[in-house]
Amino acid sequence: MNKLILKAAFNSLSFGNVSYNIARELYKKDINTSIFPISNNFDFSAFNKIDSDFKKWLESSTNSRLTSIKRDIPCLSIWHLNGSEESIGSRSFLYSFYELNNPTFTEKNIVDIHDKVIFSSNHAKKCFESVNCENVKSVPLGFDEDFHETNKTYLQGKLHFGLMGKWEKRKQTEKIIKIWAEKYGNNKDYQLTCCVTNPFFKEGEMNQIIGRCLEGKIYSNINFLGRLKTNSEVNEFLNAIDIDLSGLSGAEGWNLPAFNSTCLGKWSIVSNNTSHKDWANKDNSIILEPSGEETAEDGVFFNKGSTFNQGTINVFSKDQLLEKFEEAESKFGIKNEEGLKLKDEFSYEKTLNKIIKIIENA
């Protein structure tokens, strides 16, 4: 394949990072690409190590998009199911994430209109196969080559836990922080750093949510960071922690924070659910088996009766998490050698190669 139309959003969010990395692989392969930014998302401020020639290619591919398109050039969109129904040209391919387990008729119908829908996990693929979608595939994400080990010493002598990802019921943010505070709160030998700002909440709302979570108490060893503006800052965060708690999310399309920290040799406590099963195992992660399920409804991002995002999330008990905290303590000071191997197993070069093969064989 030497020509492609790419519809994607470039920003600091997960979709933006995936779009950026897939575009970079297109650039490396010298594939003639017409880029259509979704909702005018064309912001590269998070990618502070961007190669100047790659940036010029991105700008040129975007500026020439209307003069370079043809009807039969395949169009690859990287987006949510909701909003993916519009494509350019006659050949439509979608790369998307899906976290839950109960595809709605609307979601199935949108999937059916594309030539192929490529999900980031086997879980999502199976969910849509269960409602008779015959055009679904799965291709895993890769490790972002901009992340790397810094080999710095951050909090010497302290076991440093980290939690990253926007505050949501689905990610069980509040539950994780409450249990950690009960066990380790104000113990100087332990630290929890949270990067959990949700951009859909105002700053005042986030402060109120955190206050309710901690019941108004102040803990000397729990730190809340604001939004990290660059991937270099994210890289510092991932290197600074010893144990990642982001993998305790109840449903994910991949879970970049937990995956990336594991690739950097950290230990992640991972709930054995949804996309986690594609990369986390007992050798490279601290695996927690879910104790059950509950509705994903939260009245904010997941609403009962909506035409999108219906289903359940996986949950765990307090005792289960306390047990995994103890297991995590036994890993203190031990590099996750099996986690480091994930960088070779999962790369964006492999991701794009598999996507291209699906497009060419469609």
pLDDT, position 95: 98
pLDDT, position 252: 98
Tell me, rounded to whole angstroms, the distance of Cα 319 from its chain centroid: 27
Domain count, the chain: 2
pLDDT tens-digit map of 34-88 = 999 999 999 999 999 999 999 999 999 999 999 999 999 999 999 999 999 999 9
pLDDT tens-digit map of 17-37 = 999 999 999 999 999 999 999
What residues make up the domain containing 284?
A: 159-345
pLDDT, position 116: 98
Handedness of CA 78, 83, 86, 90 (dihedral sign): positive
Residue 215 placed within a domain? yes
pLDDT, position 202: 83
Report the SS3 class of residue 121: coil
67 with 124, same domain?
yes
pLDDT, position 163: 98
Residue 200 pLDDT class (50, 70, 90 cuts): confident
pLDDT, position 289: 98
Mean pLDDT of 108-128: 98
Residue 321 placed within a domain? yes
164 with 63, same domain?
no
Residue 151 placed within a domain? no
- Here the tokens at position 333 are 């000071």
Mean pLDDT of 235-248: 98
Residue 275 placed within a domain? yes
Residue 203 pLDDT class (50, 70, 90 cuts): confident
Residue 191 pLDDT class (50, 70, 90 cuts): very high
40 with 137, same domain?
yes
CATH of the domain at 44: 3.40.50.2000
Residue 286 pLDDT class (50, 70, 90 cuts): very high
Residue 172 pLDDT class (50, 70, 90 cuts): very high
Amino acid at 166: K
Residue 64 placed within a domain? yes
**Residues recorded for the chain:** 362
Give the burial string for 192-211 (b: 16+ CB within 10 Å, else e): bbbbbbbeeeeeeebeebbe
pLDDT tens-digit map of 345-360 = 999 999 999 999 999 9
Query: Do residues 115 and 86 lie in contact, with contact meaning Cβ atoms separated by under 8 Å?
Result: no
Residue 165 placed within a domain? yes
214 with 297, same domain?
yes
64 with 174, same domain?
no
pLDDT, position 362: 96
Average pLDDT, the chain: 97
pLDDT, position 199: 87
Distance CA 129, CA 136 (A): 7
Asked if residue 177 has pLDDT above 90, the reply is: yes
pLDDT, position 32: 98
Q: What angle do CA 151, 155, 159 make, to 5 degrees?
A: 105
